[in-house]
Amino acid sequence: MTTTLEPKNALAAERRDLAVAYRLIAHFGLDDSIFTHISARAPRSEGDEAFLINPYGLRFDEVTAENLVTVDLEGKILRDDFGAGINAAGFTIHSAVHAARPDAACVIHTHTTAGVAISSMEEGVLPLNQWSLQFYNRLTYHDYEGIALDLGERERLVSDLGSAKAMVLRNHGLMVVGATVGEAFTLMYNLERTCRAQLAILSASGATPRPVAPELAEFTASQYEKWTAFRSDPTKKDPEWEAYVRLALKTYPDLAA
């Protein structure tokens, strides 16, 4: 089987990959109407320290490589072919991470039922299965401060994130960062499955959750890090992300136009 994964037109790969991620989030039911965001560093040709984000008002299944908005770290719109601007709350969260984390080429934030439910539990994510162990001692938390419109929250959010790649926003949702769009999407998909599995476990009548012992949990987390280290290198191919791209191109043919 041969599938062309490179964009067929002159659009930069950064735009195509981000549009693919938006469609996949919608495809797997992780979107929330016109809210939440995925952002990625923009091509250098569109501005230094600029990033791409969705136009306000579009569903995730309507996002294309062409209508993504380019914005700088101060919120100034550099390119907006759609003309709808951006969501201010999305700018607050995403600009903070992009400014503080040079390794964060992509940031994904979601409000899924499972993610919001786990974010609303004092215990947070528990080490109950192999999916969750990827995040053992590698997941941080940020306390709820209301709708993210206060630019002053950026410093606190970045401090809470630290060097982690995944964060639970208390009473709010989930956030991940990746060195590539593919790494960020895979992290979010796995974190979402972690939350869904935990809810299923805790809701099982008469069952007693069986956490993994700390030593084994840490060992498994380190195994994940070694196994997925290539995903942090944008020059290496990611076969799982390529499989997801094929799914998106097959499901949404307009992405390959």
Residue-range domain boundaries for the chain: 13-248
Rounded distance, CA 114 to CA 131, Å?
14
pLDDT at 183 over 60: yes
Fold that domain 13-248 belongs to in CATH: L-fuculose-1-phosphate Aldolase (3.40.225)
The average pLDDT across 205-222 equals: 95
pLDDT at 92 over 90: no
Please give the residue that has the higher pLDDT: either 196 or 84.
Answer: 196
The predicted structure's pLDDT at residue 7: 56
pLDDT at 85 over 50: yes
Would you call 214 helix, strand, or coil by DSSP?
Answer: helix
pLDDT at 120 over 80: yes
Task: Tokens for 51, please give them.
Answer: 């990033």
In angstroms, the Cα distances linking 201 to 77, 126, 207, 238 are: 45, 11, 8, 31
Please give the residue that has the higher pLDDT: either 183 or 230.
Answer: 183
The average pLDDT across 215-244 equals: 92
Rounded distance, CA 101 to CA 219, Å?
26
